[in-house]
Amino acid sequence: MAFVGKKFPDLNVDAMNDMGDTFKLNVLEEAVNNKKKVVLFWYPKDFTFVCPTELHAFQAAIAEFEKRNTIIIGASCDTPEVHFAWLSTDKDNGGIEGVTYPILADSNRNLASTLGILDITNETFNEETGIVTVEGDNVTYRATYILDEDGIVQHESINNMPLGRNVNEYLRLIDALTHVQEKGEVCPANWEDGKDAMSANRTGVAEYLTANVN
């Protein structure tokens, strides 16, 4: 199920911060109550390989997101305790010490299931035993959501496990969304902040193509 153009699910989820505090976090409320955009990024597992590079990359860019009135939230299906153990492990040992944004601990998989981002390739019910078995790790793909200040999903994407994200692309998308909100123009292919956008009509596209496409 695609969530673009819809309200993000209204669910409270356990989360962990760098101080070792476990608390409830509602992604929709973070956007609406704080009047901020939100970037929520899911990763498969703590203490793995591509994952810490992404968490550190989002941390390195956090000031840029904050300048854009945007909150960063990480998420996986690990428990809060495992998150804190990883947050307490330094980079030299594959850890994410220094990450300051909250990390969802969706260990009951309520939110991940609602979003449909779990690695489940097949589900089988054995009528004799009553046991349900699944194929796949039942952890999340690298899914990313951008919410606007009203909690509406403006972007969602899903990468397979080996494919790390480019954090700069989410900065670009936030810039594009802000431009649309403030200027009422639409952002063409490869648009970046400071480049020409266009009016969403025939004249606008004709003028843009004439000026920018050889």
Q: Which amino acid is at 72?
A: I
Element (H or E) spanning 13, and its range?
strand 13-16
Q: How far apart are CA 61 and CA 210, in angstroms?
A: 35
CA atoms within 13 Å, Cβ hemisphere of 160: 3
Q: How far apart are CA 49 and CA 60, in angstroms?
A: 18
Pick from 27, 42, 61: nearest CA to 167: 61
Is 77 a catalytic site residue?
no
Catalytic residue among 13, 16, 25, 51: 51
Active site residues: 51
